[in-house]
A and B are shown apart, each in its own frame.
Chain A
Amino acid sequence: MGATFVVVLREGFEAALLLGIVYAYLAQIGHPESRRYVTLGGALAVAASIVMGVAVSLLSGPLADVGPDVIALVVIFGAVALLTWHGWWMGWHARELRGALQRRVDAAHASHQLWMVGLIAFTGVFREGAETVLFLWGLMTQIEDLTGWAALAGAAGGLLGAVGLGWLVFQGGRRLSVLRFFGVTSFLIMFLAAGLFSAGVGRLQGLGFLPGGDPLWDTSWLLDDHGNAGGFLAGLIGYRARPSVLEVVAYVVYLAGAGMLFFPSVFRPGTRRNGDVTEPAQTSRV
């Protein structure tokens, strides 16, 4: 029971975190009605996960062997692109959002395609979705006795736990000031996306499409990425106990690039957008 709880909680954790952030984000910019994009994105992702779970169970041969890898890579790099774009938008527009609610709504509406936030929700849920569907499906076919039910109850608890975490992120995020929320989430998204980017590069290495792959260092004695704590950290910030050279380079390069994009005022003080030159110089960082 405990084991299935942890598996589902871990698979659902990242999705819940992202959903909590984007829901809170929409509340922050005064666009609660755009939640439908996020809900739709999440729902479509659940549907797509079920379709993929069924497809993987039915199909076999080269399509079933290569297909999931290609889809995983597209989802990983797609998520990186979306998160980067989102962090960049927050970095450049944080300043505008300090104004009155109506001004925020207008600013957000003018320059941010909110349906794209729905895509973030989609990638977040779909990334581990098919695995979770297959895992739960396996549990349901095993219900013959009490342990079967206990395992399923554990899984349901894990799912509830993930939803609860997402809810906490949403409630917490909503209560922060706009600027602090943007700062905190930009920071989180930066590490999350760096981890994803590096994981994508690692997957390409694992498949033999990129050279190398031997570990640069080994910290598995300190924190094993197959363990629970290491596993959570792997999902959150891309922790690897034995990263390859390319993975480390990808991580660092992404962090540096995203840092400049997400926190423009830190790197280029005095940068102004949208002509608000009359405001005294002030950093838009938290």
Chain B
Amino acid sequence: MSQGYSVLLALLFGLAAGLVGSFALMRRMLLAGDVISHLALPGLGVAFLFKVNPLLGGAATLFLGTLLIWKLQKKTGLATEAMTGVVFAAALALGAVVTPKEDLVDALFGGFPTLSLAGFLFGTVAVAVVIVFIVRYKDRLALGLFSTDLAAVTGINVNRLNLYFLLVFSLTVLIGLQFMGTLLASALIIMPAAVGRQLTNKFSHFLMVSAAVSMFSVATGFLLNTVVVKSTTVSPIIVIVSALLFALSLVIGRKP
């Protein structure tokens, strides 16, 4: 497949990450996203070890870890953050032990892949799932954030909604793994949402600005990399662009 498809998928991923990041920011779990991506590490390690598609291995442990976090959170009543911290640390240690040393750097930083048709299709479907979920459930998610009691009285199963969100969140990180690597997979979930929140106070504007900033970062990152930097890994450039946009948002300030 040509690089054009990869760029297209990366742009779609940017859109999904911006939307998911908006809700992650409101739930105060942006950093949880950063560590959740590390849940993929043991799976990547095992996959490298047995020479299977790393993404499959990563996906397996990432979703197992997410389920574990949700379960433990329900059982202990602790915040998502605390549970993520516990599961993440365990996953990282496990991943470091099982991943062959020469593959560890690849697993952590990733590289820009030439996508197979299957990879492109999987990515497109996954991105579509994320975007459709956010568009369909944005109001339920917002009500749940305002008050779980009022959301429940409105007929929303808050507990199930939390699980859905965590799964969609993990799916977004998983798509990001292909382009951004374990360490930067969640950067596009974090940065654009921070810019969006800095610039606007209104729900719909916030979602739109976050998504736009994320896609702009991807597009500009690719452009800069192709024309100027010419690196094999494009993710650092994308993240630097979004960081610059955040700096710019500080100068502009928030509209009421």
Verify that A and B bind, or say they do not: no
